[in-house]
Amino acid sequence: MAKAETTMENLISLCKRRGFIFQSSDIYGGLSSCYDYGPLGSDLKKNIKEFWWRWMVQRHEDIVGLDASILMAPQVWEASGHVEGFTDPLVDCKKCKHRFREDLLLDPHKCPDCGGELTESRQFNLMFKTYMGPVEDDASIVYLRPETAQGIYVNFPNVVKSTRQRVPFGIAQIGKAFRNEITTENFIFRTREFEQMEMQFFVKPGTDMEWFEKWKQDRIDYYKALNIRPEKLRFHQHGPDELAHYAADAFDIQYEFPFGWKELEGIHNRTDFDLSRHEKFSGKDLAYYDDLTKEKFIPYIIETSAGADRTVLTVLADAYEEQQLEKDSRTVMHFAPEIAPVKAGVFPLVKKDGLPEIAHEITDKLRPHYQVFYDEGGAVGRRYRRQDEIGTPYCITVDFQTKEDETVTIRERDSMEQVRVKIPELRNWLFEKINNRLDSNS
């Protein structure tokens, strides 16, 4: 049966109540569009980034990692086209003074908040600017990177020289990006500070469309492996008016959020735009020499660019379910086991007769390998509900039979089915269920 859709109110409330996501600087009234990941949210986001890294870097022998700095030489952003063209059209309401992105308005002349008259639009650059060193003059301007991609392009020759990678190959990176967005919206969907998970794949010109198709398929497969419902995912091809200045072709992977179909990831054929521009602006030869075929060329780049925070929102929205059971109801987050912040709850059936000691021993043994949570408070049913609400895939209960045969029950979150497993086999059992799933997806 299809599950009932959630609302943003339900999600935001659960995120705050259970410690996934808080408003930044909460005690000062919050800072608009900035968010902090709490104890559960930070683990969820870290697990998503690790899942991406494992999927993109570890599984592909032709992809290597990089961790470039956020601050880069300002010429990078001239070469990339961001200084000149990374702008949005901004309009102000003459009456209430609110600001809007003109291209997102239904009526470009009328304020959506108060109906007042809007100003003519002007182009607003989205890059955050700051100064390097003590003097605040034009010569010391640096930008907070608006995308992680450029750190990869400028390191292309370093990676070619320092590894045995040959074109076609890719460079992947996860890191913060900053955009002074005019309109922020929908919780963590569009924020001014966010994290990207980007991979740039360098290919021989002429083979680019083949690789483009391959990466489109691989990236959809990735979201399915993350347990995102396939019917909630679709491709959207950019029309000529949507294409970024660098792209010859582009598809978004969209997800159907509670507020509609929106971009989750962009897949772009960036041609030789980036390396050619950096070659021109830096004066360095960035062409690739293939010593087998003796050909020299500027590689084309196929980019896959996903937002880590947007993936967190997708995973939260997709996982959320309020289920009516026979006797009661539960809120359950159906996270894929790899990304669930807590992998197992460990409960003694009662708080006596040596059961807590055995449960503590199990917790201590599992803790170096998995995030586990010991809980002896209240009826077991209530303890299950607390773990369901944070998406813990397995709950291990120590009961009286444990003392006789060294077995515990493991209750699975989604099916609520229970099995008995011997304590010495617990770690391997969890490994099979949690870490080995990618085998069947590769």
Residues that bind ligand GAP (CB under 6 A): 147, 149, 179, 181, 190-191, 194, 196, 198, 263-266, 303, 305-307, 309-310
Shorter beta-carbon distance to ligand GAP: residue 147 or 208: 147
CA 338 to chain centre: 14
Q: How far is the CB of 205 from ligand GAP (least distance, A)?
A: 20
Q: How far is the CB of 199 from ligand GAP (least distance, A)?
A: 10
For residues 127 and 146, the answer to whether their CB atoms sit within 8 Å is: yes
Shorter beta-carbon distance to ligand GAP: residue 149 or 410: 149
Buried b (16+ CB within 10 A) or exposed e, 311-329: bbbbbbbbbbbeeeeeeee
Shorter beta-carbon distance to ligand GAP: residue 190 or 219: 190
Q: How far is the CB of 298 from ligand GAP (least distance, A)?
A: 18
> Long-range pairs for 41-47 at CB < 8 Å and ≥24 separation?
41/15, 41/312, 41/341, 43/341, 43/342, 43/371, 44/20, 44/312, 44/315, 44/316, 44/335, 44/339, 44/340, 44/341, 45/195, 45/308, 45/309, 45/312, 47/338, 47/339, 47/340, 47/341
Shorter beta-carbon distance to ligand GAP: residue 312 or 358: 312
Residue 95's closest CA among 80, 70, 112, 78?
A: 112
DSSP 98-165: -EEEGGG-SSTTB-TTT-PBBPPPEEEE---EEESSS--SGGGEEEB-S-SHHHHHHTHHHHHHHS--
Shorter beta-carbon distance to ligand GAP: residue 246 or 374: 246
- Look at residue 418 and give its three-state secondary structure: strand
The phi and psi torsions of 184 (rounded to 5 degrees) equal -105, 150
- Give the residue closest to ligand GAP by C-beta: 307
Q: What is the enclosing helix (H) or strand (E) of 407?
A: strand 407-412
Q: How far is the CB of 89 from ligand GAP (least distance, A)?
A: 16
Q: How far is the CB of 175 from ligand GAP (least distance, A)?
A: 11
Shorter beta-carbon distance to ligand GAP: residue 70 or 416: 70
Q: How far is the CB of 250 from ligand GAP (least distance, A)?
A: 8
Shorter beta-carbon distance to ligand GAP: residue 35 or 394: 35
What's the maximum distance between 2 C-alpha atoms anywhere in the chain? 79
Q: How far is the CB of 244 from ligand GAP (least distance, A)?
A: 7
Residue 232's closest CA among 266, 255, 260, 202?
A: 255
Shorter beta-carbon distance to ligand GAP: residue 184 or 207: 184
Separation between Cα atoms, residue 58 and residue 83, nearest integer Å: 35
DSSP 243-275: --TT-SEEEEEEEEETTEEEEEEEEEE-TTHHH
Q: How far is the CB of 79 from ligand GAP (least distance, A)?
A: 14
Q: How far is the CB of 200 from ligand GAP (least distance, A)?
A: 9
Shorter beta-carbon distance to ligand GAP: residue 52 or 373: 52
